[in-house]
Amino acid sequence: METQELQPPIVQFSQLSKLLDLCRANSLWPMTFGLACCAIEMMATGASRFDLARFGAEVFRPSPRQSDVMIVTGTINKKMAPAVQTLYDQMPDPKWVIAMGNCAISGGPFVFEGQYNVVEGASKLFHVDVVIPGCPPRPEALIEGILKLEEKLTGTRRWPRVEAV
């Protein structure tokens, strides 16, 4: 299958691209897609207590063609890796990836001598924009990850950072 790469435009408008980045940051539609226990935390993030909808990011699209951000939630097995890769390839540009949880970052607890069936991190398959450590990360952490992705897109942070006491 031919891949359709997004070419950078020949003429670029700085204000327009800023506006578009702002729009993209404010409507990040994730893919309905979970691999392991981190997906449970992702569901909790969408539910009433944490409410991902506040940032316009609650539209979990079931089809990769309509989603903007892929939240890799959980362990990627060698057997699952081609499916994950296909889903990533099917998303139209511009697209982003959030690796949620230690398994998606580096393989987590599954990295040991003689390990034969786990892909050690989503970054082995495709480019990862934001990583969220934790096993599994709490919903607040996922929200923080999405805010981080927005910050990466627009260059400004939505709220002032809260310092750890």
Partner 1 sequence: MFFIDAELIRLLAFVLGVIGFVALNAAYLVWLERKEAGHIQRRIGPKEVGPFGLLQPLADALKLMTKNLITPDGVDPILFKIAPILVMVPAIMSFVTLPFSDTLVARNLDVGLLAVFAFASINVLGLLLGAWGSRNKYAVISAARVVSQNVAYEIPMLVIIVTLVMITGTLNLHEIVTLQTGGFWHWNVLKFSASPLMPVAFIIFFICMLAETNRAPFDMAEAESELVAGAFTEYPGMGFGVFFMGEYANIVVGTSLATILFLGGWDCPLGLFPGVHWFLIKMYALIFVVIWIRWTYPRTTFYGLLNLSWKILIPVAFFNLILTSAMLKVF
Give me the residues that bind partner 1 (CB under 8 A), please. 1-2, 4, 6, 19-20, 22-24, 26-27, 32, 47-48, 51, 53-56, 58-59, 61-63, 65-66, 68, 92-94, 158
Least distance CB 75 / partner 1 (angstroms):
23
Least distance CB 79 / partner 1 (angstroms):
21
Angle between helices 38-46 and 139-154 (to 10 degrees): 80
At residue 132, φ and ψ (nearest 5 deg) are: -120, 105
Measured from the CB atom, the residue of 41 and 105 that comes closer to partner 1 is: 41
Measured from the CB atom, the residue of 68 and 130 that comes closer to partner 1 is: 68
Classify the C-alpha dihedral 43-47-53-55 as positive or negative: negative
Measured from the CB atom, the residue of 24 and 148 that comes closer to partner 1 is: 24
Least distance CB 53 / partner 1 (angstroms):
5
Least distance CB 163 / partner 1 (angstroms):
22
Measured from the CB atom, the residue of 9 and 114 that comes closer to partner 1 is: 9
Residues with Cβ within 8 Å of residue 50, at least 6 apart in sequence: 44, 139, 140, 143
